[in-house]
Amino acid sequence: MDDIVKQAMAKWPNVPDCFGWLGLDARGHWFLRDDAVQALGPFEQSKGSLLEHEKLLAFIARNYAKDDLGRWFFQNGPQRVYVELEAAPFVWRLQPGGEVQAQTGALATPEACLVDEQGRVYLVTALGLGLVHSQDVGLVADALEQQRWSQEDVLASSLPERFGFVRSPAQQAAVR
């Protein structure tokens, strides 16, 4: 986490959390979701505005974390901005050396390969669960043929509980 973020958190410890305003799609893109977008429905139905500013994306990546309840967030100064996840906390791109790289830039080594009922491919790493970017699914097929990983069939609905993450912190907060 950035030092400036830690300093802001110490200076303003009681800033309310923010829900529903940031989303991560299945291709690793971040979306800003204002009140009007949120009123149109959940993240899968109404994504919002694609974030493209490189420095903002880098700031989000450096300050992306998970709380004790499995909710992923971006620490924006003193405020936690909880992230709506289309699929999983990470979106992996396969790298030539066998590692995978997340939308945050973090590198990890796959430990397991999961395929859901819709044919979406996930990799489990020490960092957590991530969806394989759709452009890299062919590379995963090659790795499976080379027996680098074994494939496990799963139900997508079972993944949040099994891997300890919350797809929609906003919906969870609304229920409480």
Give the per-residue pLDDT at 53: 97
Distance CA 83, CA 155 (A): 22
Structure tokens at 57: 């994306």
pLDDT value at 15 more than 80: no
Looking at per-residue pLDDT, the higher value among 131 and 173 belongs to 131
Q: What is the rounded CA–CA span in Å between residue 88 and residue 147? A: 24
Decide the pairing of beta strands 30-32 and 18-24.
antiparallel
pLDDT value, residue 176? 61
For residue range 139-167, list pLDDT tens digits in order. 999 999 998 888 999 999 999 999 999 99
Give the tens place of pLDDT for each residue, 24-80: 999 999 999 999 999 999 999 999 999 999 999 999 999 999 999 999 999 998 899
Which pLDDT value is given to residue 19? 95
Q: What is the mean pLDDT of residues 81-99?
A: 95
